[in-house]
Amino acid sequence: MKASDELVVVYKAQGITQAEVIKSKLESAGIPALLKYESLGPVLAVTIDGLGEVQVLVPKPREDEAREVLQEQ
């Protein structure tokens, strides 16, 4: 993934484990993905008020493809 790529959120997970599964699914389809989360969430395993939310991000040009892959679940 290039630093110049604009990233978009394609999935919001409740917890790091679920987000890692989604990220792996995208990467196995050849789509680079990153996870964005508050650092405290995974440490404390907190899911209150969005603190445990993990966003799965992909480059904007791959957004449609990523959403198609995720719909195949």
Tens-of-pLDDT digits for all 73 residues of the chain?
665 679 999 999 988 999 999 999 999 999 999 999 876 544 555 445 555 789 999 999 999 999 999 998 6
| Separation CA 52–CA 35 (nearest Å) | 12
The predicted structure's pLDDT at residue 52: 74
The predicted structure's pLDDT at residue 5: 74
| Separation CA 4–CA 27 (nearest Å) | 19
Residue type, 52: G
Residue ranges of alpha helices (H) inside 1-73 are 16-28, 40-44, 63-71
Query: Which is it for the CA torsion 21, 24, 28, 31, positive or negative?
Result: positive
pTM value is 0.79
The predicted structure's pLDDT at residue 69: 97
Residue boundaries of the structural domains of the chain: 7-71
In CATH terms, 7-71 corresponds, of 2.10.109, 2.40.50, 3.30.1460, 3.30.70, to: 3.30.70
